């Protein structure tokens, strides 16, 4: 129906007349509902339909037994609700949604074409009613629409129009967090995978992907999808599309490999697919890393990072040569600078370096050298992972820590990144690595390198971090500096106002016990420097320290007594 005709209808007062014609007994009811459905295809006619009082009689007609009346009424209500807040509110107030859901339930199992057409219209009506409206979607979920739609999909999977309507509905509802638990208690995973296996057309598969992605964010559903055999489908798509340069195929390869990585984010689904490192899936994903396709390299590295979420898997993978594969991959991206691949490969190496037994193996495989090639990177995500990987590798590895700590290029870059105010992550990791180099090497040469590169002030600032773990790491590193190279660091410690900061940490009620303990250890170590000793005397440390003698934490109280003696002897 064209605009002109619609305008004439609106001007003629005929809409008000329709309201009185929409009665269950009348023989022309279906025809009237059909006309309303056509009129409401025009967006500026939807509010007039509401204003003419058509919603309430239409909703009443949903109780009719006549299939044609139900069909046309469903169309009329669906079109009035399309993108219309007023239409939806009116249907909501008239209680239309519940009646439609009840129909879907009772008609669900009948597979004749006329009934399937009606089911499709009803699904469409619910979509138009709730699309992009969280509170109406939540209402439908509370009315139990999800199990009903899943059942519909299972029974009517031969009917393309109805299947498509169900998929659109799932896509909309799956955006809501509250829907995921309901979905998880149905067999949606099984139905979607079954449907997916039947699809040959790109567009149809794309529609299913759009439902799978939000659903797979839920860990229970991840496992169900793995058990339903989705992974085999995804691997097959990857194999088919890997060498194609058609746009659709490239898009599908990306979607499939991204979804694969998402499935590995769940602990149970990941462990199931790892199968002790013997699994077919793990082996296939491994083969993506040396491929020439950037998307697959990326997905492969991310998948390894996800498999590397517990010590057992990490140890197995390192023993089976994964490190060399990742180093080869990094090598291929030093020059072209593909940031996502660099970031993913470094993430995987960082996770693999967490178990103690892997550190020495990875160090002797040359991981530090491979990682240091990216020191010149200007990309914060790459810088962040590079720092994290090095920090994991040198944990309790004195020799490696010393070697890195004497690497002037590295230390200078760390000092530079300690000032990266825009990138808190990089700044925090640089500070932590500086401290780790000292703590794990306990080496005078490392301390000298850090002093010469201007790193001391950053360690002092780190002692005031809001994160206790970082404060602590800084205080321990500073105590080692004071014990091993106080003369070299003295001036920098002074200009960074370390003594004032320690006074503040000890006086602050909120400081954690280990912070108070390590601050006192550090005070004692600073007494070996004349100028710092004088600063300690000038600030009334005795008052603060003697108060801590009665601290509830035994170690703090004990250290307070020792520190008090030290301060008294030296005063």
The one-character DSSP state at 66 is -
Torsion, CA 277, CA 280, CA 282, CA 284, rounded to 10: 140
Tokens of 161: 């129009």
- How much is the CA Rg of the chain, to the nearest whole Å? 34
Q: Is 41 exposed, middle or buried (0-12, 13-18, 19+ CB in 10 A)?
A: middle
* Backbone φ and ψ of 174, nearest 5°: -70, -15
Contacts of 486 (CB under 8 A, 6+ apart): 525, 526, 528, 529, 532
Nearest to residue 94, comparing CAs of 63, 66, 130, 55?
A: 55
The per-residue pLDDT for 513 is: 92
Task: Identify whether the C-beta of residue 147 lies closer than 8 Å to the C-beta of residue 182.
Answer: yes
The per-residue pLDDT for 10 is: 66
SS3 (DSSP) at 95: coil
**CA angle (472, 476, 480) in 5-degree steps:** 165
Task: Identify whether the C-beta of residue 148 lies closer than 8 Å to the C-beta of residue 185.
Answer: no
Place of tokens 């002092």: 460
Tokens of 198: 């039947």
Domains of the chain: 497-570 (1.10.1240)
Task: Identify whether the C-beta of residue 496 lies closer than 8 Å to the C-beta of residue 461.
Answer: yes
Nearest to residue 464, comparing CAs of 515, 520, 411, 412?
A: 515
Contacts of 159 (CB under 8 A, 6+ apart): 111, 116, 120
What is the crossing angle of helices 3-12 and 14-21, to 10°?
Answer: 80
Tens of pLDDT along the chain (571 residues) come to 667 776 776 666 777 767 777 777 778 889 989 999 998 998 888 988 899 888 999 999 999 999 999 999 999 999 999 999 999 999 999 999 999 999 999 998 988 999 999 999 999 999 999 988 889 999 999 999 999 999 999 999 889 899 999 999 998 898 888 888 889 999 999 999 999 988 878 888 899 999 999 999 999 999 999 999 999 999 999 998 888 889 988 999 999 999 999 999 888 889 988 988 888 888 899 999 999 899 999 999 999 999 999 999 999 999 999 999 999 999 999 887 789 999 999 999 999 999 999 999 999 999 999 999 999 999 999 999 999 999 999 999 999 999 999 999 999 999 999 988 889 999 999 999 999 999 999 999 999 999 999 999 999 999 999 999 999 999 999 999 999 999 999 999 999 999 999 999 998 888 899 999 999 999 999 988 888 888 888 888 888 888 889 899 999 999 999 998 888 876 5
- The rounded distance, in Å, linking the Cα atoms of 257 and 166 is 25
The per-residue pLDDT for 421 is: 83
Task: Identify whether the C-beta of residue 46 lies closer than 8 Å to the C-beta of residue 80.
Answer: yes
The per-residue pLDDT for 570 is: 66
Task: Identify whether the C-beta of residue 532 lies closer than 8 Å to the C-beta of residue 569.
Answer: no
377-381 CB contacts, 8 Å cutoff, 24+ apart: 377/337, 377/342, 379/337, 379/339, 379/342, 379/343, 380/420, 380/422, 380/423, 380/425, 380/426, 381/339, 381/343
Q: Give the distance, in angstroms, between the CA of residue 152 and the centroid of all CA atoms in the same chain.
A: 32
153-158 CB contacts, 8 Å cutoff, 24+ apart: 153/188, 153/191, 153/192, 153/195, 154/187, 154/191, 155/108, 155/109, 155/111, 156/111, 156/116, 156/119, 157/191, 157/194, 157/195, 157/198
């Amino acid at each position: 129906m064209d605009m002109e005709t619609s305008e004439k209808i609106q001007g003629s007062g005929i809409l008000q007349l329709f309201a009185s014609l929409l009665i269950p007994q009348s023989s022309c009811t279906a025809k009237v509902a059909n006309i309303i459905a056509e009129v409401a295809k025009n967006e500026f006619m939807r509010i007039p339909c509401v204003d003419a009082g058509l919603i309430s009689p239409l909703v009443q007609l949903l109780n009719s037994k006549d299939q044609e009346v139900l069909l046309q009424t469903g169309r009329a209500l669906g079109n009035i609700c399309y993108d219309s807040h007023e239409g939806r509110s009116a249907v909501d107030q008239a209680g239309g949604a519940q009646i439609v859901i009840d129909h879907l339930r009772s008609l669900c199992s009948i597979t004749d074409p006329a009934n399937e057409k009606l089911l499709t219209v009803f699904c469409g009506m619910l979509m138009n009613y709730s699309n992009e409206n969280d509170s109406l979607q939540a209402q439908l979920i509370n009315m139990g629409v999800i199990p009903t739609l899943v059942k519909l999909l299972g029974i009517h999977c031969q009917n393309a129009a109805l299947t498509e309507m169900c998929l659109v509905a799932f896509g909309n509802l799956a955006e809501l967090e509250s829907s995921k638990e309901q979905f998880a208690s149905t067999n949606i995973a099984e139905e979607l995978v079954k449907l997916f296996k039947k699809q040959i057309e790109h567009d149809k598969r794309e529609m299913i992907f759009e439902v799978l992605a939000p659903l797979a964010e839920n860990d229970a559903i991840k496992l169900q999808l793995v058990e339903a055999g989705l992974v085999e489908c995804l691997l097959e798509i990857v194999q088919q599309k890997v060498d194609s340069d058609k746009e659709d195929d490239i898009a599908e390869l990306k979607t499939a490999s991204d979804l694969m990585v998402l499935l590995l984010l769940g602990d149970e689904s990941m462990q199931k697919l790892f199968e002790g490192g013997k699994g077919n899936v793990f082996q296939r994903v491994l083969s993506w890393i040396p491929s020439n396709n950037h998307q697959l390299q990326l997905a492969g590295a991310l998948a390894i990072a996800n498999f590397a979420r517990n010590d057992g898997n990490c140890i197995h993978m390192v023993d089976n040569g994964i490190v060399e594969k990742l180093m080869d991959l990094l090598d291929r991206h030093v020059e072209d600078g593909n940031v996502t691949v660099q970031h993913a490969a470094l993430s995987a190496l960082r996770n693999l370096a967490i178990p103690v037994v892997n550190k020495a193996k990875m160090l002797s495989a040359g991981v530090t050298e491979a990682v240091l090639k990216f020191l010149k990177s200007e990309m914060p995500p790459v810088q962040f992972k590079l720092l994290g990987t090095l920090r994991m590798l040198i944990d309790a590895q004195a020799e490696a820590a010393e070697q890195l700590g004497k690497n002037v290029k590295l230390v200078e870059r760390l000092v530079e990144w300690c000032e990266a105010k825009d990138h808190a992550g990089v700044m925090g990791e640089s500070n932590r690595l500086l401290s780790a180099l000292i703590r794990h090497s306990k080496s005078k040469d490392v301390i000298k390198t850090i002093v010469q590169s201007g790193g001391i002030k950053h360690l002092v600032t780190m002692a005031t971090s809001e994160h206790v773990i970082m404060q602590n790491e800084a205080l321990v590193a500073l105590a080692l500096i004071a014990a091993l190279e106080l003369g070299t660091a003295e001036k920098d410690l002074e200009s960074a106002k370390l003594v004032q900061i320690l006074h503040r940490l000890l006086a602050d009620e909120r400081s954690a016990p280990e912070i108070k303990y390590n601050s006192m250890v550090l005070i004692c170590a600073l007494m070996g420097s004349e100028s710092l000793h004088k600063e300690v005397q000038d600030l009334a440390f005795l008052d603060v320290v003697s108060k801590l003698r009665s601290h509830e934490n035994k170690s703090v109280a004990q250290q307070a007594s020792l520190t008090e003696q030290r301060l008294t002897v030296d005063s």
